[in-house]
Structure 1
Amino acid sequence: MSMLAEKVLKDLIKAIDNDELVLPTLPEVALKVREAAEDPDIGVAQLSKVIGNDAALTARIIKVVNSPLLRTNKEITDLQMAVGRLGINYTCNLATGLAMEQMFQATSDVVDRKMREVWNKSTEIAGICHVLCKHYTRLLPDQATLAGLVHQIGVLPILTYAEEHSELLADSISLNHVIEKIHPIIGDKILRTWEFPEQIAMVPSQYLDFSRDSAKVDYVDIVQVATLQSYMGSEHPYTQLDWSQIPAFRKLGLDPSHNLNEDEDLSAAMEAAMSMLQ
């Protein structure tokens, strides 16, 4: 590890330990949606009103409901109909996840490119999570999608830090090393600060623990397998691991050597899931 990476790691870990690291706040629309979701009496009309104040998010929700993955016989053009079709919980999780994209904004080109890269990878993994969850578990696909969208949220404060420290921006190897080392710790902290449910809040810090073996399949397993599947066929270091020794595959009942893209139905479903999130 370079001296620069060591120094930045020390600085950031110290800031985390002393609660001095400025954690990002949820976009306002996501906060309002989550607040609405906590009201047991919330109805489709009220939730639609909350989401309807954000034109971009409204368009995204309508796009999702009309995607090949969820499409009904009749095209849905109205937000209230879309929320009615998806249901309150599904809409809230989806709206929260999609609103995250607003946070991936930077003031410099280098950081902006890196943020785009992280967000694109997150939507890819979220799409795979949706399909894995639906086909191989009895867990909720909307929660799995949200877990995929937020699993790299810890990268944001590191990139914000990098924007203020040009020497780190100029050294992409050190920057990537710092991201790899501590984004899971920061991601965990962010999701707990945002009061995400425990089953999702623990995803950033645990999805890269390939020896992890919980009692039953959970969202960490889904994000872990989705991450590995996303690198299948590449020369990424994760493809050098012995996947047959990774418990998450067994818990999903999935053959580690099976490339989901070779299954026409699953491949089409993953394509649809990814495109609905982009």
Structure 2
Amino acid sequence: MSLSVNAVRFALLTRFLKGQAKVPQMPEAALRIRRLLEDPRTSLEQLARVINSDPPLAAYLMQFAESPLLRGGRPCVSMRDLLARLGTRQLNDLVLGFSLRHLFSSPESALQKAFTLRWRRARERAAYCAALAQRSGLMLDEAMLAGLLQDIGSLPLLAEIEHWPDFPREVATLDELCEELSGDIGALVLTRWQLPTAIIDCARQRGKWQREHSGSADLADLVLVASALQAAESDLPEILPAQLQLGLDMPLTALRDELRQELQLWLRLLA
């Protein structure tokens, strides 16, 4: 980056840290469903009615009715059937994921393209997280959500860039900006949304490939490995400390090949 772009980058981060830039609220649909799921009095019928009142969300969820990823022999014929099969955690994750992809819209094609690219990467990261969680014993639904949200800081960052017309719109420059600032801004967003500390920490540890810690493997380890599996960086070590924490002591290239089939299955679920 040039000095002028670096100056803008510093100014952008300062605006977010001082609360001068807009931080998005958690999508209303996700908030509504989360409140219902947290209430033990909520019935499947009530939950189905609320979801069916949002036709785009209902249509998205019903795509899973014929998915081979759903366990059970008989097909789902109603929203209630689908909700009973998905389970509350997975439903919460799917609703939040669906809401996020519609949370950003820009009249500038360059910014919209940058967001679409990063959203595609977020889905792939979440798919890797799900596959890794199955092997490491960490909670699958929490892992999938953490992977999806690790780069959430890019969303308000790209929205703020609309107000900086002199900032370059080249794909590489926008991508580099997001890579540098997304972690810090994402931690702010997730804290505002009152998400679990473990998920917030995944955003905060973004890109810290040499992270080491005592104790058992945690969610940040898993998301770091998932991000490394996506990365094309030649300077990454063959085996990250996070992999050793997770008991995945094989080169990243070998792990990527081993997870290839599982990755495709989870991408279908998250598409």
Q: Give the alignment's TM-score, normalised by structure 2.
A: 0.91
Aligned residue runs from structure 1 range 101-250, under 5 A = 101-134=101-134, 136-214=135-213, 215-231=215-231, 236-237=232-233, 239-244=234-239, 246-250=240-244
Instruction: Specify which of 249, 261, 265 is matched with residue 272 of structure 1.
Output: 265
1:171: how far off?
4.4
1:11: how far off?
1.5
**CA contact 2:71–2:85 (8 Å) conserved in 1:** no
1:101-148 superposed Cα distances (whole Å, 9 cap, x missing partner): 1113222111111111011110011111111101x2222211111111
Residues 262, 17 of structure 1: alpha-carbon distance in 2 compared, 3 angstrom cutoff:
closer
CA distance in 1, matches of 2:148, 2:23: 17
Deviates more, 1:163-172 or 1:78-87: 163-172
Q: Give the alignment's TM-score, normalised by structure 1.
A: 0.89
Residues 59, 89 of structure 1: alpha-carbon distance in 2 compared, 3 angstrom cutoff:
same
Partner of 1:44: 44
Residues 107, 46 of structure 1: alpha-carbon distance in 2 compared, 3 angstrom cutoff:
same
CA distance in 1, matches of 2:169, 2:260: 38
CA distance in 1, matches of 2:79, 2:173: 45
CA distance in 1, matches of 2:149, 2:99: 11
CA distance in 1, matches of 2:112, 2:106: 5
CA distance in 1, matches of 2:196, 2:34: 12
Deviates more, 1:185-194 or 1:40-49: 40-49
CA distance in 1, matches of 2:60, 2:212: 36
Amino acid at match of 2:43: G
Partner of 2:247: 253
CA distance in 1, matches of 2:68, 2:256: 17
Amino acid at match of 1:218: D
User: Paired residues, what number?
Assistant: 269
Residues 177, 12 of structure 1: alpha-carbon distance in 2 compared, 3 angstrom cutoff:
same
* SS of corresponding position for 2:97: helix
Residues 35, 206 of structure 1: alpha-carbon distance in 2 compared, 3 angstrom cutoff:
same
Residues 253, 64 of structure 1: alpha-carbon distance in 2 compared, 3 angstrom cutoff:
farther
**CA contact 1:44–1:88 (8 Å) conserved in 2:** no
* SS of corresponding position for 1:243: coil
CA distance in 2, matches of 1:67, 1:148: 22
* SS of corresponding position for 2:23: coil
**CA contact 1:191–1:201 (8 Å) conserved in 2:** yes
Amino acid at match of 2:187: D
1:60-96 superposed Cα distances (whole Å, 9 cap, x missing partner): 2233454333343222242111110111222112212
1:172: how far off?
4.2
Amino acid at match of 2:246: L
CA distance in 1, matches of 2:62, 2:92: 14
Unpaired runs of at least 5, structure 2: none
After superposition, the CA RMSD in angstroms is: 1.9
Q: Which runs of 4+ in 1 moved over 6 A?
A: none
CA distance in 1, matches of 2:107, 2:152: 18
1:210-252 superposed Cα distances (whole Å, 9 cap, x missing partner): 2222322222111111111123xxxx22x422132x2210122
- Identity rate of aligned residues, in percent? 28
